[in-house]
């Protein structure tokens, strides 16, 4: 299996490309490494906020509904099961009853939710709304009937990326190996624009182009779910 680099190693490779860390040096400059790590944080966060990232989707989280309650602080309800890196956005939601039967829930926009005239109407929920605040709140509609028990919502969520800066880059990035080449060139492009060194314009253009190429390739194939492909069998002349 190909090597999985730590955040520090990703930064060192980018620093080497802009001439800030010689192959003969025993270590990169501490201040330059810290700056590179903070920019790697920003790059990863922006990328994860621009598309669905399957490596940022942890196990399905289950939250219990209370009859007569319309609004839930998701992180409080999930407790220890709340994602460590927070909740960036919901992917899908399912309502499960006391018999284990599951029904898909529609995730509405704020506009759709605000258009509901009687938000306190009781019944069996068929949709939810989750706001975009740092600590998100989930609202159900209809509101589960007062006194009703045994219902849960199963949430598939995408988290934010982990931080690399606070640990001095000692941990792996969490990205699968195919993304590492993109990370190096994307970071090189940023660090070489004057952040740490200013590389010639032609060099900067090359780094940006390579980052775009590698990101496009992994987004097109690596960043998706895989199912069975069409089975091929040898030709038979019946």
Between strands 61-64 and 152-158, the pairing is antiparallel
Give the separation between CA 213 and CA 124, rounded to whole angstroms: 48
Does position 224 have pLDDT exceeding 70, yes or no?
A: no
What are 84-119's pLDDT values in tens digits? Answer: 888 888 899 999 999 999 999 999 999 999 999 999
Q: At what angle do helices 7-17 and 30-48 cross, to 10 degrees?
A: 110
pLDDT tens for 37-59 read 999 999 988 988 877 777 788 88
Average pLDDT of the residues of the chain: 87
**pLDDT value for 21:** 85
Lowest mean pLDDT among 7-21, 115-129, 223-237: 223-237
pLDDT of residue 144: 96
Q: What is the pTM of this model?
A: 0.77
Alpha-carbon dihedral sign for residues 81, 86, 87, 91: negative
More reliable by pLDDT, 59 or 151: 151
- pLDDT > 90 fraction of the chain, expressed in percent and rounded: 57
CA 50 to mean position of chain CA atoms: 9
The structural domains of the chain, with segments of one domain joined by +, span: 7-53+163-221, 58-158
Cis link prior to 142 (omega < 30° from 0)? yes
Contact (CB, 8 A) for 95 and 76? no
Per the rule left: phi > 0, alpha: psi between -120 and 50, beta: everything else, 147 is left
Q: Beta 137-141 vs 61-64: how paired, if at all?
A: unpaired
Tell me how crowded residue 228 is: count the other CB atoms within 10 A of its CB: 5
Q: Which of 51-55, 132-136, 203-207 is the most confident on average? A: 203-207
């Amino acid at each position: 299996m190909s090597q999985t680099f730590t955040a520090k190693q990703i930064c060192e490779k980018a620093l080497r490309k802009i001439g800030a860390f010689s192959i003969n040096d025993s270590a990169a400059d501490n201040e330059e490494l810290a700056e590179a790590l903070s920019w790697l944080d920003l790059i990863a966060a922006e990328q994860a906020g621009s598309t669905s990232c399957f490596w940022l989707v942890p196990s399905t989280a289950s939250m219990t509904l209370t009859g007569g309650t319309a609004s839930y602080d998701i992180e409080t309800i999930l407790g220890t099961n709340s994602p460590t890196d927070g909740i960036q956005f919901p992917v899908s939601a399912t309502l499960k009853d006391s018999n284990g039967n599951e029904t898909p829930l529609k995730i509405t926009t704020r506009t759709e939710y605000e258009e509901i005239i009687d938000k306190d109407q009781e019944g069996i929920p068929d949709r939810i709304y989750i706001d975009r605040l740092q600590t998100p709140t989930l609202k159900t509609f209809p509101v589960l009937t007062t006194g009703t028990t045994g219902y849960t919502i199963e949430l598939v969520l995408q988290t934010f990326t982990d931080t690399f800066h606070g640990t001095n880059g000692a941990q792996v990035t969490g990205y699968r190996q195919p993304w590492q080449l993109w990370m190096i060139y994307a970071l090189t492009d940023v660090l070489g624009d004057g952040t740490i060194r200013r590389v010639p314009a032609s060099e900067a253009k090359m780094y940006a182009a390579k980052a775009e190429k590698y990101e496009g390739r992994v987004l097109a194939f690596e960043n998706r779910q895989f199912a069975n492909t069409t089975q091929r069998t040898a030709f038979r002349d019946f």
